[in-house]
């Protein structure tokens, strides 16, 4: 743009009419590209926050100098656009500027026994108003998985060190599940992460890299790798992959919670494991693919997180998969016969396999992984289905 403007100025100085017309057209073209910028506002991380006081952020993007307005229409007694004034700061106006635009929503601690909702109305000048829901949990509340309803959820296993959580996000104005976890506070890691895969979740958005603590689990139990990775040759290894949740920014951001991370060798994470994740995505279907990914700990090996705190290193990782054989029955899993279902398990040693496609040697049955981990997966299906181990059905050669 600067080069064009400089060129336009030089043309005016020498008063060459034909070149001036050319320059004006060139400048007009550049302006039309600027006006094509779309105005957009979205939660940076999540619309669900913990009971403790804090703030959440709405990211604003669009054409510079576009005016916008925001108003807290519900929850203004505990929500504000100012951290210092919860009485007179329920509305705010501004204009889109070059670079990062952030609207912070501050909230007080929830001392009640129930979660509470707030609503923020946001509108670009000349555009339709959109509503942002903010849900603050109570101190005793968890977003528990639907243990007997959702196909991917393993049976609940009672343990004082386990915390079960489900994260939700909004898609097409409907709040739906993103994923569920069984989080081990002593390991600072999830033992399993359960989630559905469907084209509606995959989307075409981008990776957010929105590293953050899980707002539902106390940060004292989570590894602190928000600003940097684990010490040594370990990546912040996702259990539910970022690439499985590209439908919206909120869906993707939630995969960057510390509760979804483990210290995973970079040459496993970026090579064979990444190829296994891609292979799993290729098996999505209209009936929905159900996945549980987990970490298994069978040693006392540790590393440190980005803040220098000790964290356990998994000895193995696993995945268990379930779907209909045809992929398009239109039936619920519980209504399918054994012959209509396929399943498989993958048991992966925590080591470098090289940059190779997933080998048949990691393939096993869901029943075998149940035996190794002590968890019962896919409780809606028979043990006969869980005994299957046919890699070719899943594209493993």
Quote the pLDDT of residue 28. Answer: 38
Which of 162, 163, 144 lies closest to 153 in space, CA to CA? 144
CB within 8 A of 2, min separation 6: which ones? none
Residues 6+ apart with CB under 8 A from 35: 63
Instruction: Give pLDDT, residue 244.
Output: 98
pLDDT tier, 50 (very low <50, low <70, confident <90, very high otherwise): confident
| Mean pLDDT (whole number) for 21-49 | 59
pLDDT at 22: 36
Name the least confident of 19-33, 234-248, 293-307. 19-33
pLDDT digit string, tens, across residues 196-229: 999 999 988 899 999 999 988 989 999 999 999 9
Instruction: Decide if pLDDT at 183 tops 90.
Output: yes
> Which tokens hold the place of 232?
């040594």
Residues 88-99 pLDDT 10s:
999 999 999 998
State mean pLDDT over 258-263: 98
Average pLDDT over residues 85-114: 92
| Interval 150-180: pLDDT, tens | 999 999 999 999 999 999 998 888 889 999 9
- Angstrom distance (rounded) from CA 249 to CA 178: 12
* Percent of the chain whose predicted confidence (pLDDT) is above 90: 78
Residue from 337, 365, 12, 320 nearest 192 by CA: 320
Measured between alpha carbons, how far is 260 from 247 in angstroms, rounded to an integer?
18
pLDDT at residue 33 above 80?
no
Confirm if 363 and 391 have CB atoms less than 8 A apart.
yes
Mean pLDDT of 265-272: 98
For all residues of the chain together, what is the average pLDDT? 90
pLDDT at residue 26 tops 90: no
In angstroms, the Cα distances linking 182 to 26, 169, 190, 202 are 58, 19, 5, 23
* Token digits of residue 287: 């009936």
Question: Per-residue pLDDT tens for 317-370?
Answer: 999 999 999 999 999 999 999 999 999 999 999 999 999 999 999 999 999 999
Max CA distance (Å), the chain: 85
CA dihedral of residues 297, 303, 306, 310 (deg, nearest 10)? 80
pLDDT of residue 35: 43
Q: What is the residue whose two structure tokens read 């929850």?
A: 75
pLDDT value for 29: 36
Task: Find, among 384, 333, 340, 279, the residue nearest to 152 by Cα.
Answer: 333
Instruction: Give the span between the Cα atoms of 256 and 237, in whole angstroms.
Output: 10
Name the least confident of 142-146, 195-199, 277-281, 330-334: 142-146
- Burial group, residue 134, by CB count within 10 angstroms (0-12, 13-18, 19+): buried
Closest CA to 353 of 319, 388, 320, 317: 317
């Amino acid at each position: 743009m600067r080069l064009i403007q400089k060129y336009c100025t030089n043309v005016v100085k020498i008063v060459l009419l034909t070149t001036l017309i050319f320059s004006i057209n060139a400048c007009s073209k550049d302006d039309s590209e600027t006006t094509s910028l779309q105005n957009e506002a979205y939660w940076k991380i999540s619309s669900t926050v913990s009971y403790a006081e804090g703030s959440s952020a709405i990211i604003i993007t669009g054409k510079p100098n576009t005016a916008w307005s925001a108003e807290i229409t519900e929850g203004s007694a505990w929500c504000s656009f100012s951290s210092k004034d919860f009485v007179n700061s329920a509305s705010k106006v501004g204009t889109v500027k070059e670079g990062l635009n952030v609207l912070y929503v501050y909230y007080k601690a929830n001392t009640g026994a129930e979660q509470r909702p707030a609503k923020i109305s946001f509108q670009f000048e000349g555009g339709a108003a959109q509503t942002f829901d903010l849900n603050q949990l109570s101190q005793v509340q968890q977003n528990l998985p639907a243990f007997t309803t959702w196909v991917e959820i393993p049976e609940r296993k009672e343990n004082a060190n386990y915390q079960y959580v489900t994260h939700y996000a909004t898609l097409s104005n409907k709040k739906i599940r993103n994923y569920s976890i069984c989080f081990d506070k002593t390991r600072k890691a999830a033992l399993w992460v359960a989630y559905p895969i469907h084209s509606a979740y995959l989307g075409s958005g981008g990776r957010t890299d929105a590293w953050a603590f899980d707002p539902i689990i106390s940060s004292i139990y989570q590894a602190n790798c928000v600003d940097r990775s684990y010490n040594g040759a370990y990546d912040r290894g996702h259990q539910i992959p970022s690439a499985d949740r590209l439908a919206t920014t909120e869906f993707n951001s939630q995969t960057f919670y510390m509760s979804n991370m483990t210290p995973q060798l970079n040459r496993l994470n970026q090579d064979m494991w990444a190829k296994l994740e891609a292979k799993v995505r290729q098996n999505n279907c209209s009936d929905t693919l159900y996945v549980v990914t987990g970490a298994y700990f069978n040693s006392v090996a540790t590393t440190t997180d980005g803040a220098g705190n000790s964290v356990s290193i998994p000895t193995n990782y696993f995945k268990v998969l379930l779907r209909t054989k045809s992929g398009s029955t239109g039936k619920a899993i519980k209504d399918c016969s054994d012959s209509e279902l396929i399943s498989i398990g993958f048991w992966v040693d925590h080591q470098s396999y090289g940059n190779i496609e997933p080998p048949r040697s990691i393939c096993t049955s869901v029943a075998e992984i149940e035996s190794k981990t002590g968890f019962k997966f896919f409780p809606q299906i028979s043990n006969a289905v869980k005994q299957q181990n046919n890699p070719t059905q899943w594209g493993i050669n």
